[in-house]
Amino acid sequence: MELLGEYVGQDGEPQRLRVCCETSGDADPLQSLLSGVAQMKELVTEFFGPLIQREAQDSVAATPDDALDGELGDGTQGDFGLGEQV
């Protein structure tokens, strides 16, 4: 048994992640699957961690003031759930 994951980036190139969940002897197959899921979670975290950090840094560097003034990307103001004051 194995777990497969595939990510296709903006460049169109697929990236594949693979984890084997082989049982040895009388080992519980569900325990092997659980172990495989934990390994896949680690691989996904390692794979996407740098991408998430880079995107977050690019987002902050692109518009540092826009995040503070409440302006939405289209020039309108967002109320952030505060409603109108009368």
What string of DSSP letters covers 56-82? HHHHHHH-TTTTTS-B-TTSPBP-TT-
Tokens of 32: 């092997």
pLDDT tens readout for residues 11-60 = 899 989 999 988 777 778 888 899 999 999 999 998 888 888 888 887 77
The 10 Å Cβ neighbour count of residue 7 is 13
* 86 confidence band (pLDDT: 50, 70, 90): very low
Report yes or no on whether pTM surpasses 0.75: no
Identity of the residue numbered 53: Q
50's tokens: 């740098």
Report the pLDDT value the prediction gives residue 58, as an integer from 0 to 100: 78
Q: What residues contact 65, with CB distance under 8 A and at least 6 apart?
A: none
